[in-house]
């Protein structure tokens, strides 16, 4: 039987909006074993019953008293000093559910929902979230759990619906310069599909898609502004951080940071919840596999692919996971401005454009187009290539830039780069046998990226290609001499290319 406690009513002149709150004395709560945030039921005059939240008071409420917020005593014409019976209904259900997961039992739909809801609404602390993340790190999710978690994370945040069918392309990340999004979106939109894209900023990489797009147009749009852009152009390329999409996901991410844990299941939930919340119906996942990517080997990629497909199916999303080998950067520019120039060179079909960026973008666009139209990859490839070569994609890009509030008149060669530059030359001739992504990132950050959008590195050598002694193999861009000095001090230790 659940233990009831008896307390004397004290009417308070506090209000709390829609939430029903009672206050009890802090020290007494401690001895009762009751915590702030516990749910209790209160009964009085033998029958009336309410379920309320406990808050604690160390001064206003004495031991033996229960403080009633105005909503409660006014509506129920409660009197000062009358005795109420209080029964603890237990900690938030989420705490029980977290404990259950920690003991190795799978979560039900209700468990998942209660955990995610309490995370999203700050009802449980980061310590409690850490227990949950530890548990999910140790016991991977069942298929059902993956579905329940994704659904809960999506539904506890903002849901954005557009008229018509929404398609999307998502990279799981890990490869520098992988700015395919900014090529794929205008291609797909120019073919008449709706593709409103929200992207992240860089965390520890030299640029995120949102940082790069921001070189060309504002990306911090409100929901209303975004819908307007999509209505006009079928697409957008904006920063996801200004929406309340899947808020529980951000809170879990924060807790994983100190130990740099990233359970794979959490990644799937994180990606898919945002797609569910934005009502995406066709989705291509770009999954680079390699030493310096997030996914280190094909076996892991295959396992993740299966899980992505499973979750997508339960939400009625048609999905294609595009696994590809990612050993060196895509494109030649690294850093927001240099990457934006690469993207424009491809869209404008300039001579000397980075062909690896173009090819990967066409491949992803074709996969997505075929997923929607089901016309076969050969035909899809032809159509997306035509959209690019004909200039349709470039026109669409200009439309999007304009709709988001950017300068319509723009050319890849007109983009302003860091005005302090320095070329690094090959000290011997030979073949590039290794490109170190980690060192590229580190050097870009020393140069000031992504805080300084104009800082970065332009790569002139490439994995598998020959170089001759004395040739420039990469160029540093910085906004001032001091940053350049810091980067030049680092070049001996942070080798980008290994030549043999």
By CB under 8 A, name the binding residues for its own copies.
1, 3-8, 27-28, 30-33, 35, 63-64, 83, 85, 91, 95, 98-99, 102, 124-131, 133-135, 137-138, 202-204, 255, 257-259, 261, 438-439, 442, 445-446, 448, 450-451, 482-483, 485-487, 489-490, 493-494
Nearer to its own copies by Cβ, of 1 and 378: the residue is 1
Rounded to whole angstroms, the Cα distance separating 160 from 138 reads 33
CB of 165 to its own copies, least distance (A): 37
Cβ proximity to its own copies: between 390 and 482 the closer is 482
CB of 325 to its own copies, least distance (A): 23
Minimum distance between the CB of residue 91 and its own copies, rounded to whole angstroms? Answer: 8
What's the min distance (Å) between Cβ of 141 and its own copies? Answer: 17
The nearer residue to its own copies, 85 or 155, going by C-beta atoms, is 85
Whole-number minimum distance, CB 41 to its own copies, in Å? 13
In the chain, the N- to C-terminal Cα span, in Å, equals 77
Shortest CB 336 distance to its own copies, Å: 12
Comparing CB distances to its own copies, the nearer of 309 and 490 is 490
User: Can you tell me the distance from the alpha carbon of 44 to that of 278, in angstroms, rounded to the nearest whole number?
Assistant: 46
Least distance from C-beta 250 to its own copies, angstroms?
15
Q: Which is nearer to its own copies, 303 or 451 (CB)?
A: 451
Closer of 24 and 426 to its own copies (Cβ): 24
Which residue in 16, 20, 2, 11 sits closest to 65, CA to CA? 11
Contact 214, 453 (CB under 8 A): yes
- Compute CA distances 217 → 236, 405, 419, 456, 477, whole Å: 11, 6, 21, 19, 21
Q: Please state the closest distance from residue 496 (CB atom) to its own copies, in A.
A: 12
Nearer to its own copies, 207 or 311 (CB): 207
Report the residue number, 133 or 166, with the smaller CB distance to its own copies: 133
**In Å, how far are 299, 446, 458, 491 from 443, measured between CA atoms?**
32, 5, 12, 8
The residue among 45 and 75 lying less far from its own copies, judged by its C-beta, is: 45
Residue 324 C-beta: closest distance to its own copies, Å: 25
Contacts of the segment 26-29: beta carbons below 8 A, 24+ positions apart: 26/56, 26/57, 26/58, 27/58, 27/63, 28/63, 28/64, 29/54, 29/56
Rounded to the nearest whole angstrom, what is the least distance from the CB of residue 492 to its own copies in the complex?
Answer: 10
Identify which of residues 127 and 163 has a Cβ nearer to its own copies in the complex.
127
Pairing outcome for strands 4-11 and 83-88: antiparallel
Of the candidates 115, 121, 117, the residue with the CA atom closest to the CA atom of residue 133 = 115
């Amino acid at each position: 039987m659940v233990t009831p406690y008896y307390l004397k009513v004290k009417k308070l002149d506090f209000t709390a909006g829609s939430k029903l709150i009672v206050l009890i004395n802090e020290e007494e709560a401690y001895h009762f074993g009751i915590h702030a945030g516990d749910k209790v039921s209160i009964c009085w005059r033998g029958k009336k019953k309410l379920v309320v939240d406990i808050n604690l008071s160390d001064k206003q409420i004495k031991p033996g008293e229960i403080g009633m917020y105005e909503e409660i005593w006014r509506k129920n014409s409660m009197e000062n000093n009358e005795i109420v019976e209080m029964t603890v209904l237990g900690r938030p259900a989420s705490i029980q559910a977290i404990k259950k997961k920690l003991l190795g039992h799978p979560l039900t739909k209700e468990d998942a929902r209660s955990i995610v809801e309490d995370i999203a609404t700050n009802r449980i602390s980061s310590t409690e979230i850490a227990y949950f993340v530890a548990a999910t790190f140790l016991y991977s999710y069942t298929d059902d759990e993956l579905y329940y978690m994704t659904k809960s994370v999506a539904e506890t945040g903002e849901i954005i619906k557009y008229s018509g069918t929404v398609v999307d392309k998502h990279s799981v990340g890990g490869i520098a310069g992988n700015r395919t999004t900014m090529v794929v979106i205008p291609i797909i939109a120019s073919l008449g599909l709706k593709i409103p894209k929200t992207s992240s900023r860089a965390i520890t990489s030299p640029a995120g898609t949102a940082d790069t797009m921001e070189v060309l147009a504002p990306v911090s749009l409100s929901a209303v502004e975004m819908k307007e852009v999509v209505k006009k152009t079928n697409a957008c390329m904006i920063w996801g951080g200004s929406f309340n999409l899947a808020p529980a996901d951000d809170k879990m991410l924060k807790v994983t940071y100190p130990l740099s844990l990233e359970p794979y299941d959490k990644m799937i939930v994180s990606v898919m919840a945002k797609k569910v919340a934005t009502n995406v119906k066709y989705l291509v996942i770009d999954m680079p596999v390699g030493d310096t990517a997030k996914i280190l080997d094909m076996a892991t990629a295959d396992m993740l692919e299966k899980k992505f497909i499973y979750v997508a199916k339960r939400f009625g999303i048609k999905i294609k996971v595009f696994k590809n080998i990612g050993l060196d950067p895509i494109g030649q520019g690294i850093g927001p401005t240099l990457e934006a120039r690469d993207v424009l060179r491809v869209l404008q079909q300039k001579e000397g454009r980075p062909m690896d960026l173009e090819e990967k973008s066409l491949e992803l666009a074709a996969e997505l187009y075929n997923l929607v139209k089901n016309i076969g990859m050969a035909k899809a490839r032809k159509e997306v290539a035509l959209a690019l070569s004909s200039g349709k994609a470039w026109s669409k890009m200009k439309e999007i830039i304009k709709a988001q509030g950017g300068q319509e008149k723009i050319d890849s060669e007109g983009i302003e780069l860091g005005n302090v530059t320095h070329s690094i030359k090959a000290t011997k001739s030979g073949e590039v046998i290794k490109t170190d992504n980690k060192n590229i990132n580190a050097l870009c950050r020393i140069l000031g990226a992504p805080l300084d959008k104009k800082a970065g590195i332009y790569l002139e050598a490439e994995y598998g290609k020959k170089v001759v002694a004395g040739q420039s193999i990469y160029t540093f861009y910085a906004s001032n001499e001091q940053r350049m000095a810091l980067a030049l001090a680092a070049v001996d230790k942070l080798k980008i290319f290994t030549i043999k």
